[in-house]
Structure 1
């Protein structure tokens, strides 16, 4: 409509007079109403005004204390796996360590952890949290997730399947997550529900359960849960079974993962070369800067070893779940078979043959000793398959406190720079490098790189080893055990080095001896402290 016609409508609507045939004519009421109707349509007056709806504030004043608690419990159950477990499993009675264990699983559920390993003794409730309750909790929060759950065989996996279905069929679950529904058993539907796979109605998500060796084809996996991949010690100690599990993971399970997939490994460790050991050896432990693709590892030994930590605040020697597995019971088990106890209960898998070293003592704080010297001992690689092992440590009259490790098969171009950086970072005063197999040239190159970094503090010296390595390692093993203190969590910080040390055998059948050889060197080259300085010796 043009502007002239619009002005005319406004004049009529306002009742303005017009001169017509020398007369003053006023619009009739009917004409005014008609003009207003046209204007209303043109200007949009006939469209109801959109009002912001008033917020509906429920009246809680009449709620009883029981209803208040029920509302709060339901709210918590949607936010925390421990509360979810208590809500859907009323007889659940968690021990103090379960609170920290379930917090780890909750962090995993909220995507704060991408790759998580949790090692725990048998009969301590690890599967209840990780394999029975976590999948329903995840699907309740996000019914689009695709979850795969694996155990050592199909029978065990299908048992988990049935238990998960029962949880998700329960009315208490629907009270928390009404949109996450499995297909009814007597309903004709295109959504799968069987002993191996269940799909969420009207959503893309669901869960599959399978044994090691089973097929996992078709769709990607958002969350992979691996629970007890080895049935027993006989399976875990079989090289054929271990290789089968590793091959299945590499060729089947890992091929279904994408960039945002999460992995959870929760089982009892039997052998140092199990799947967890292999993954840690190749991928390492998580560090936000140095190794963001590594694994976060949490270990719960049946009897606490070492100082308290955030994940395990027990004092040394305290049992994990005294109400179910008392200290006396655990100690009796240890006496019967120390090796099985170390693997099964302490999650410290050991070879069947005799080990060179017992578990090392750990420290949390370095001593403030005026006689302390920061040193490095370096065993250069003899051949292309050997490791360079450099140990940074603080030597005191009482012991050697290990600080850092460089343990790698990388070429010298890498190791020279890496070692120089470590020497500079820790302000190492003395660096001892074995001169066998090009050690002198290596020492000069490292010294030159350290000087370029502004490090003129470190004094370099070389030593030539003439004695047989295996003989030296055996001869000094007791002194190494007695005088070496590892930093708390050293197995997680240095997994390849730890594996080489903790699995080294007294029988000369070891594939590599670089780590124990370097550790032996730190003891061989200990300074002789003056005995007449008793005050300094006892930190007085």
Structure 2
């Protein structure tokens, strides 16, 4: 059917369809809300293109009613509706909707029981935590009798969750009460950071508690366990022991609070592959009911992924400036979702084992690996490792950014001096030619080293050998 929306009678047809869907909802909830998306789409379009103000106003309020109809069932509709009366430039969702709609759909997938676990990594300031707060208010309104937990690395951060949720539920600027009429706040406690809806309960509707705060006996988690930035920063991320301790806190203090059917959401800056999201990804990477999302600051064309409307996001120039200002590790972790290990910072000083002399028995092998000098201030790095079972003793190394001729001579000398049996060279733009020259000179001088090539990014001995 083709509608002529310049006619008020055709508007009436759309409104009649909407009223029919409201009645049909009792018979077929899923289908009624599916068809209502057409009402939402048509009414939103006609607000902009209606031939007169009177018709535009009618479609405007029809759009509002159709969003309210879906708001309990559809997170996207909920986000649009509760900010409907706010000034466009003050809204959180619509200025960002184009870029974050895929995340909203993933959260919807959790609620529709498509997933049990969702993790999300985005640059700071792009709205990931605020979106999480809106999601909590939606879940609390839908299930006021059920308990949820929101956690983070500090009390200051969990307090922001508590304040944010309370503001959306109580501030008349948000239309939360329209979506959940009759649902009232029964109890709040700013010290304990708890919010109870409908009636006071032993386990509140929402408990906000840092990862170091005690949850023993305080609450359970029936619907959602929400964790936002459990790692405090790069200092913690650089310590494997601290990350092991964090994982133990998560499993013992947070995950153990979950009841059967409880979902998990993790939002974080990806500092390390050993952080909670990294370990969850390793554990559940093949599980179809787990989804891992990461959105870097810049896309494959080196352009911003978060250039929102009204200037509330970050344009390409901003991210380029941050990249030029920050050290490489911070840029990659904070803005590109690349944990520090992926750039070669594998070992923290307090995690290295040290020795005074090599074992007395004969080694199993003597091996080396070379990250060749590429250009500019880049360094060539070649460690020599004596292998004893599963242990690698780094006896010597070359780390040099001198002229290529000097570096190559030093590489040849160390391979000959330690009688290295096997060495793998990184095959970057310069590595292939250097490997051939070094191999030829080593053989010419009676050395035994067998050199192979592999295209790598800052390799590590225990990764390759």
Q: What range is the shorter-chain TM-score in?
A: 0.5 to 0.7
Alpha-carbon distance between aligned partners in 2 of 1:106 and 1:225, rounded to the nearest angstrom? 15
Distance 1:304 1:170 in 2: 37
Matched, 1:201 2:198: yes
- Runs of 5+ in structure 1 lacking a partner? 1-55, 186-191, 306-315, 359-381, 387-465, 483-500, 518-540
Matching residue of 1:528: none
Measure how far apart 1:57 and its partner are.
7.0
Aligned to 2:413: none
Structure 1 residue matching 2:292: 3-state secondary structure? strand
8 Å CA contact 1:162–1:195 kept in 2: the answer is no
Distance in 2, Cα, partners of 1:184 & 1:147: 15
The equivalent residue for 2:221 is 221
* CA contact 2:428–2:456 (8 Å) conserved in 1: no
Q: Distance in 2 between matches of 1:261 and 1:240?
A: 29
- SS of residue matched to 1:251: helix
Question: Residues 44-69 of structure 1: CA distance to partner in whole angstroms, max 9, x if unpaired?
Answer: xxxxxxxxxxxx979xxx99444322
2:78 corresponds in structure 1 to 84
Return the TM-score normalized by structure 1.
0.51
Match of 1:107 in 2: 109
Instruction: State the match for 1:297 in structure 2.
Output: 292
Alignment correspondent of 1:178: 181
Secondary structure at 2:262 match in 1: strand
**Offset from partner CA, 1:237-263 (integer Å, 9 cap, x none):** 344542332121121111112331211
User: Is the contact between residue 183 and residue 193 of structure 1 (CA under 8 Å) also seen in structure 2?
Assistant: no
Work out whether 1:274 is the aligned partner of 2:278: no
**Cα offset for 1:121?**
0.9
Judged with a 3 Å threshold, the aligned counterparts in structure 2 of structure 1 residues 214 and 66 are, in CA distance, closer, same or farther, namely: same
Instruction: Count residues with an aligned counterpart.
Output: 309
Cα distance in 2 between the residues matched to 1:348 and 1:113: 24
- State whether residues 196 and 209 of structure 1, in contact with CA within 8 Å, keep that contact through their aligned partners in structure 2: yes
Please say if residues 187 and 197 of structure 2, whose CA atoms lie closer than 8 Å, have aligned partners that are also in contact: no
Question: Runs of 5+ in structure 2 lacking a partner?
Answer: 1-21, 25-54, 347-369, 373-387, 393-418, 433-453
Check 1:57–1:278 CA distance in 2 against 1; reply closer, same or farther (3 A cut): closer
SS in 2 for 1:345: helix
1:349 to 339, 346, 369: 339
CA contact 2:148–2:220 (8 Å) conserved in 1: no
Relative to 1, partners in 2 of residues 1:286 and 1:220: Cα closer, same or farther, differing over 3 Å?
A: farther
Post-superposition, which runs of at least 4 consecutive aligned residues in structure 1 deviate over 6 A? 355-358, 382-386, 479-482, 501-504
The answer (yes or no) to whether the contact 2:186–2:200 under 8 Å persists in 1 is no
CA contact (8 A) 1:182 1:193 kept: no
Partner of residue 118, structure 1 = 120
**Greater share of residues in helix:** 2
- For residues 263 and 105 of structure 2, what CA distance do their matches in structure 1 show? 16
Partner Cα distance (1:57, 1:350) in 2: 55
**Aligned-partner Cα distance in 2 for 1:224–1:480:** 49
Question: Larger Cα Rg: Structure 1 or Structure 2?
Answer: 1
Distance 1:64 1:385, change over 3 A: farther
Distance 2:271 2:287 in 1: 26
What secondary structure does 2:260 align onto? strand
Q: Distance in 1 between matches of 2:62 and 2:315?
A: 38
1:195/1:165 Cα in 2 relative to 1: closer, same or farther (>3 Å)? farther
Whether the 8 Å contact between 1:158 and 1:209 is mirrored in structure 2 is yes
1:318 aligns with 2:303: yes
Structure 2: distance between partners of 1:477 and 1:217 = 54
Which residue in 1 is equivalent to 2:356? none
Paired position in structure 2 for 1:252:
253
> Which position in structure 1 is the counterpart of 2:316?
327
